[in-house]
Amino acid sequence: MTVQKLPIAKAINESLRKAMETDPKVLIMGEDVGKLGGVFRVTDGLQKDFGEGRVIDTPLAESGIVGTAIGLALRGYRPVVEIQFDGFVFPAYDQIVTQLAKMHARALGKIKLPVVVRIPYGGGIGAVEHHSESPEALFAHVPGLKVVSPSNSSDAYWMMQQAIQSDDPIIYFEPKRRYWDKSDVDTDAIPGPLHKARTVVAGSDLTLVAYGPMVKVCVEAAAAAAEEGKSIEVLDLRSMSPIDFDAVQASVEKTGRLVVVHEAPVFYGAGAEIAARITERSFYHLEAPVLRVGGYHAPYPPARLEEEYLPGLDRVLDAVDRSLAY
Amino acid sequence: MTVESTAARKPRRSSKRTGSSAGKAVADPQLVQLLTPEGQRVEHPDYDVDLTPEELRGLYRDMVLTRRFDAEATALQRQGELGLWASLLGQEAAQIGSGRALRDDDYVFPTYREHGVAWCRGVDPTNLLGMFRGVNHGGWDPNSNNFHLYTIVIGSQTLHATGYAMGVAKDGADSAVIAYFGDGASSQGDVAESFTFSAVYNAPVVFFCQNNQWAISEPTERQTRVPLYQRAQGYGFPGVRVDGNDVLACLAVTRSALERARRGEGPTLVEAFTYRMGAHTTSDDPTKYRADEEREAWEAKDPILRLKTYLENEGHADEAFFASLEEESETLGKRVREAVRAMPDPDRMAIFENIYADGHALVDEERAQFAAYQASFATESDGGFAAGEGK
Ligand SMILES: Cc1ncc(C[n+]2csc(CCOP(=O)(O)OP(=O)(O)O)c2C)c(N)n1
Ligand SMILES: [Mg+2]
């Protein structure tokens, strides 16, 4: 067993390295991914070891990056493309939504599109505009795409392995403000399925569901609530499309209460989908309406206001209290 | 060198096409240059400027003050007063030369690095710092100086400039529009589309590309296999490469392109060949990807130094001028420093402001919930959550 304590960024880096070593068809493409190793250094050292033919600094054009990745995939390659920041994926949105997502179906399953689109997302790093957004719902809404996000280094490593091996296009959202958080990675472990949720904290009074950067906040909230004698279960969703509704349902039928937390605006967000499904599945188990904590229907604010905008411990606990008050 | 479109430009100074007049050497024809790195005035067959000593000193002053402002902003970032800064160091001539070619009624669409152009437009430099401090996303009224907001998403603004120019033409006005963008941006689909639209509609727009040789870590060879100015030819409008560290040439070339736009002859692509002397932004570490020697070679082509040499050699500026400019620089630095430190954090309710021109019910609801939630911290009595919220 090889267990290492790694930051999330390094875990993804190691995972990409492993994938490139095992499969010569794996390519990395993106802006500044070569010599610089990406603005977050996620691809650090890979061009040096695998060459410019496999770790490709692309022209500054996101539609071009994804569009050519589709072509390379059609030719048998497995491109892993990097979008530098969440807010810059939109020039590629057309290629992702109209082409990448639909091609397998249009070809009646005869072609596969094993493309991974890596997107550092979310706020909390004090950045300027377009560098802190959480657009996952805009992708999860699209049939043909799968959408995942790790919250820790082990998942970062293994979910990347599985995403690259998948024959479906996968949007892999990286919680950028957690890039430097370290946790154990066992590179010999046998990972669970990519699209299954994971219970991070077991509890009996209320279920908190989160993914990516908000898992940490929810774990802290559970700890704070425990001090007040409340037993909170925290579920790390890991996959926003598909969603492991069975796991959410099982937890909710145990606790009777559900709060969904994400940075993205709640309006039309993942929480809305979860609330609706769980209400359908577990109506008679619910002791309170499903509550959501997330971003407002407002553009991501300037950095000096982001702590007000982002769901933090207090807002999560406030929702926990409101749910328990029913 | 100028690439002519099929609908050829009117020769402006055909009598001088063959070159040098007495005392002035002819520069590299690939690159429009009027002032060499050594500070020597040279001729170009197509472009010239005729400036008074006072105007020359004015350009010098603009560049010095812009550089001083930029240095102050970099320092303020290091001190934690700004979250980020994108320095224009080395690009002063490109920005001041083009910026001073504009008329008040012309309209500018900048990237995030056009601090020198902002200066020429009369935008208070402290206004530029709000977005880098993280107190707003723009912070100035674009229409008060005909200087649009900084655009971070690479290349988008070239289409806005083109549309604005289409509007100018529809109105029958003789204003011109200028779109700034970088060598990296030249790869974006939006930029290609703006070339197409502007050519098809003969829009009065000047595309001013500052080729500073780098797009973060990627050299220009990652974006193009032909000199960027030659791209224009394929779209049917002229392209010209100008020495981007020569403020006189940048002024002359931009002026000529703007006049061409005013005459209804359509767009021009200007490639200002320059160099990003600093890091991409304060978050960047250029030692990861480029050699010091390259930067050193460009240091010898410094835009400010060459004009200084020229002013001194021609006797256009004396000690007193330089000394008082030095003083003015320090005053500007101090003013900027103090203004930034005094810049208050925005009110938290600003999150919900100006999202819609006509309002939106959900925003109103969330604003009220947010206010009630905040108020709950002030009055501990309600147990820490907003009464009535969510029920
Ligand atoms: C659509 C988009 N993709 C990526 C980025 C991230 N990014 C910011 S600046 C930059 C390089 C821009 O290079 P260039 O156009 O040459 O302008 P310069 O920074 O050199 O002035 C990149 C990739 C962005 N802002 N927008
Ligand atoms: Mg550049």
User: What's the burial of B315, exposed, middle or buried (CB within 10 Å: 0-12/13-18/19+)?
Assistant: exposed
Strands, E assignment, A58-205: 78-82, 116-121, 146-148, 170-175, 182-186, 198-201
> What digits encode the pLDDT tens for the residues A58-78?
999 999 999 999 999 999 999
Residues A166 and A121 in one domain: yes
Quick one: B277 and B378 in the same domain?
Answer: no
Say what the pLDDT of residue B24 is.
52
Low-confidence ranges of chain A (pLDDT < 70): 1
pLDDT level of residue B220 (50, 70, 90 thresholds): very high
Residues A44 and A181 in one domain: yes
Q: What is the CATH number of the domain that holds B101?
A: 3.40.50.970
CB contact under 8 Å between B385 and A308, yes or no, is: no
A302 vs B: CB within 8 A: yes
Answer whether residue B32 is part of any domain. Answer: no
Q: Is there a single domain that holds both residue B222 and residue B368?
A: no
Q: Are residues B284 and B362 in the same domain?
A: no
C-beta B115 within 6 A of ligand 1: no
Degrees, nearest 5: CA angle B341-B345-B346: 140
Indicate whether B319 and B337 sit together in one domain: yes
**Residues A150 and A282 placed together within one structural domain of the fold:** no
The residue whose CB lies within 8 Å of the most ligand 1 atoms, and thus the one to mutate among A58, A82, A84, is A84
pTM for this prediction: 0.94
Total count of domains within chain B: 2
Residues A178, A203 within the same domain: no
B89 located within any domain: yes
Q: Same domain, yes or no, for A209 and A129?
A: no
Contact B385 A315 (CB under 8 A): no
Whether A84 lines ligand 1, by a CB cut-off of 6 Å, is yes
pLDDT value of position B139: 83
In a domain, B2, yes or no: no
**Chain position carrying tokens 């998948």:** A166
Report the C-alpha gap between A273 and B371 in whole angstroms: 27
Same domain (yes/no): A179, A226: no
Q: Judge if A145 and A250 occupy the same domain.
A: no
pLDDT of res. A61: 98
Expressed as residue numbers, the domain containing B212 is 53-341
- Which domain, by its residues, includes A287? 198-324
Do B175 and B304 share a structural domain? Answer: yes
Distance from CA of A20 to the nearest CA of B (A): 23
Q: Is A112 on the interface with B (CB under 8 A)?
A: no
Domain contains A238: yes
Q: Is B56 left (phi over 0), alpha (psi -120 to 50) or beta?
A: alpha
The separation between CA A51 and the C-alpha centre of its own chain, rounded to angstroms, equals 28
Q: b/e map of A37-54 (b: 16 or more CB within 10 Å)?
A: bbbbbbbbebbeebeeeb
pLDDT for B379 equals 62
Query: CATH number for the domain including A71?
Result: 3.40.50.970
**B200 and B133, same structural domain?**
yes
Q: Judge if B282 and B376 occupy the same domain.
A: no
Maximum Cα–Cα distance for chain B, whole Å?
88
Shared-domain flag, residues B160 and B300: yes
Within a domain: B98: yes
How many whole angstroms from B223 Cα to the centroid of ligand 1? 12
On whether both B282 and B374 belong to a single domain, the answer is no
Contact A178, A276 (CB under 8 A): no
Residues B207 and B149 in one domain: yes
DSSP A96: I
* Neighboring chain B residues of A127 at a CB cutoff of 8 Å: 83-84
Ligand 1 centroid to Cα of residue B311, in Å, is: 36
Same domain, A58 and A173: yes
Residue of A277, A270, A276, A324 whose CA lies nearest to A293? A270
Picking from B132, B159, B193, B217 by the largest number of A CB atoms within 10 A of its own CB, the best residue to mutate is: B217
Residue pair B247/B179 in contact (Cβ under 8 Å)? The answer is no
Taking only the tens place, the pLDDT of each residue in A24-51 is 999 999 999 999 999 999 999 999 999 9
Cβ of A321 under 8 Å from any chain B Cβ?
yes
Domain boundary pick from A186, A213, A233: A186
What letter does residue B41 receive in the DSSP assignment?
Answer: B
| Chain B residues closer than 8 Å to A59 by CB | 184, 187, 222-223
Residue A193 lies inside a defined structural domain of this protein: no
**Tens-digit pLDDT profile for residues B190-203:** 999 999 999 999 99
Residues B81 and B217 in one domain: yes
Note whether A39 and A180 are same-domain residues: yes
Q: Work out the pLDDT band at B91, boundaries 50, 70, 90.
A: very high
Please check whether residues A118 and A229 belong to one and the same domain. no
Query: Count of CB atoms within 10 A of residue A143's CB?
Result: 9
Q: Which of A152, A186, A220 is the last residue of a domain?
A: A186
Inter-chain CB proximity B384 and A63 less than 8 Å: no
B121-146 pLDDT, tens digit per residue, is 999 999 999 999 999 999 899 999 99
Going from the Cα of B216 to the center of ligand 1, the distance in angstroms, rounded, reads 7
- Summarised one tens digit per residue, pLDDT across range B273-288 is 999 999 999 999 999 9
For residue B30, what pLDDT is reported? 84
DSSP B105-147: TSEEE--S--HHHHHHHT--HHHHTHHHHTS-S--S-HHHHTB
DSSP B286: G
With tokens 């000394």, the residue in question is: B323
Do A212 and A149 belong to one domain? no
Last residue of a domain, one of A163, A186, A209: A186
Residues whose CB is less than 8 angstroms from the CB of residue B235 and which lie 6 or more positions away in sequence, other chains included: B195, B196, B198, B199
The enclosing domain of A209 has a CATH number of 3.40.50.920
B36 found inside a domain: no
Q: Is residue A285 part of a domain?
A: yes
Number of domains into which chain A is organized: 2
For the residues B110-119, what does the mean pLDDT come to? 98
Statement to judge: residues A12 and A115 lie in one domain? yes
Span B291-323, pLDDT tens digits: 999 999 999 999 999 999 999 999 999 999 999
Q: Supply the pLDDT for residue A253.
A: 98
Whether A129 and chain B come into contact, CB under 8 Å, resolves to: yes
pLDDT in tens, B5-25: 434 334 333 333 333 334 455
Q: Are residues B284 and B376 in the same domain?
A: no
Task: Name which residue leads in pLDDT, B62 or B2.
Answer: B62
Identity of the residue in B137, B350, B385 whose CB atom sits nearest the CB atom of A322: B385
Does position B35 have pLDDT exceeding 60, yes or no? yes
CA distances from B170 to B103, B136, B191, B194, B304 (A): 19, 33, 22, 17, 40
pLDDT at residue B390 greater than cutoff 50: no
